Amino acid sequence: MVSHIGKVVIEYLGWLRGVLSLFLNVLYWLFFGSFKGKAAQRKGIFQQMVFVGLRSVVLVFFVDFFTGIVLAMQTAYQLEKMGAVIYVASLVAISLCRELSPVLTGLVVAGRAGSAIAAELGSMKVTEQVEALDTMSISPTRYLCVSRFLALLVMMPCLVILGNISGIFGGFLVGTGSLNINPDLYMQTTFKHLALKDIYIGLLKAGVFGVIIALISCYEGLNTKGGAEGVGRATTRSVVASFISIILADCIITAIFYFSKT
């Protein structure tokens, strides 16, 4: 039993070291390598931004939209008992901007884009296309990972902003349609209690989640072994690891801002 636990810990530490090493390598190509000024690489970044961001818009919109509706109905059930139903507006907005929208968007993107990245790079790995890049003295990190890293880092906050708007709109429909709150009063209450720091915290989380998804999916893809079956395992590992890492990072960031009283 003890030996099994030790083996799991050692494997996890090795995996974590590999992810951190990939992160440092990506940073090198971003700031010190010859990545800048390459038209083909810039085109690759925009292609990844379209894949990660624009093609996730509809999914993110509806996930956060229905979350805003459900959140408004659940909070209204309790607040009606205290005669404070108007505060549904601020509760929905703050909960979405600080917590729910970044986390849900991160999970959606990890399940959709992160799995696709891991599967694509994994297929390239098992068909020896990654080794071919090494043979041509082209860094796989530079050619395959940097563009995906930048795309997720840029597009995740954009998707979270969309999620905030759609979620607040969902709560607005419930508040004005079902709870009979005046539309102007609902919006005034929303922005009266919603501070800029609530939005900034959500965007910070979005950027961190984007980095997590990019690193884990690229690492799992580039370390795929075992043919087509290995690609499936790498894809599954990337999604599971991204989900767990996103929740853990969310807990850490929330605790930092909570204990710093910001």
Q: From the CB of residue 79, how many other CB atoms can be counted at a distance below 10 Å?
A: 16
In whole angstroms, what is the distance from residue 76 CA to residue 57 CA? 28
The Cβ-side half-sphere exposure at 5, using a 13 Å CA radius, reads: 2
Do residues 65 and 166 touch, judged by C-beta distance below 8 A?
A: yes
Report the share of the chain in percent with pLDDT over 70: 94
- DSSP per residue, 76-103: HHHHGGGT-GGGHHHHHHHHIIIIIHHH
pLDDT of residue 134: 79
Residue 109 pLDDT > 90: yes
Judge whether 229 and 254 are in contact, CB under 8 Å: no
Is residue 202 within 8 Å of residue 164, measured between CB atoms? yes
Its pTM stands at 0.91
Alpha-carbon span 171 to 245, nearest angstrom: 29
Lowest mean pLDDT: which of 34-48, 92-106, 188-202, 219-233? 34-48
Is 90 exceeded by the pLDDT of residue 218? yes
Higher pLDDT, 71 or 79: 71
pLDDT tier at 244, thresholds 50, 70, 90: very high
Average confidence score pLDDT of the chain: 87
